[in-house]
Amino acid sequence: MNRAAKGLLLASALWLATCGENPAEKPQVAAPAGQPACIVEGQAPTAQPAADVLELERSVEQGPLFGAASVAGLVGCVARKDAGGAITLTYQFRNAGSLRVQRDAGIEFTEQVARFELAQTARAEDILARAEHAAFGTNGCGINWKTPDKTAAEDDAKATETVFRGDTCNCQARIRQFDGRIVRLTLRSAC
């Protein structure tokens, strides 16, 4: 399949992902081996993304949050790079899950927010700890996994958030629960 056809296939999948259909009925679309999955907003589907967008995409797709959120299969991804150089990747998955990654190298800010229902056999702390080490190396960013803060979510009185804080780069990991189910994992840092 030539590159233009691959780009058209990915653009079609993304269009389907935004049409309000039942996510369980959407076909699984994955990027061909070695090809980026994200279509850069405002750029022709066949155009090659900038090197920093590709680097972020590849690092995210090898990470634990992407692995946990993408179990049901990738539907599509959109990349956006603003005039200041900040990059946002937005992945959509078949299980109505999503992963939004924002990176602004200028202010050393990174945030990954995975929305999906975590299988009861998985431990959210383990996934986030692996994501911490993937982002910061062997020593991580000093997140204290033993003494979290647990509070009501600011934007939803029915949800709770467990927040783990680190001592490097203002890093933190968050686990959101709704009705006893884990529905969101967040890892953020700002150096």
| Average confidence (pLDDT) over 87-111 | 91
pLDDT of residue 131: 92
For the cut 90, the answer to whether the pLDDT of residue 91 exceeds it is: yes
pLDDT of residue 42: 65
CA 68, 138, 187, 11 torsion: positive or negative? negative
CB neighbour class for 141 (10 Å; exposed up to 12, middle 13-18, buried from 19): buried
Q: Enter the tokens of residue 2.
A: 């030539």
Helix, strand, coil percentages for the chain (3-state, nearest 5): 25, 35, 40
pLDDT of residue 8: 33
| Average confidence (pLDDT) over 159-169 | 87
Nearest of 129, 125, 12, 112 to residue 70 by alpha carbon: 112
For the cut 90, the answer to whether the pLDDT of residue 103 exceeds it is: yes
| Average confidence (pLDDT) over 135-161 | 86
Are 175 and 124 within 8 A, CB to CB? yes
pLDDT of residue 100: 96
Pairing of strands 87-93, 98-104: antiparallel
pLDDT of residue 45: 55
Residue ranges per structural domain of the chain = 1-116, 118-191
Are 99 and 69 within 8 A, CB to CB? yes
pLDDT of residue 183: 86
pLDDT of residue 116: 87
Q: Enter the tokens of residue 27.
A: 């076909």
Give the helix ranges, DSSP H, for 34-174: 51-61, 64-69, 124-136
Nearest of 120, 118, 100 to residue 110 by alpha carbon: 100
pLDDT of residue 128: 93
Q: What are phi and psi of 164, to 5 degrees?
A: -110, 130
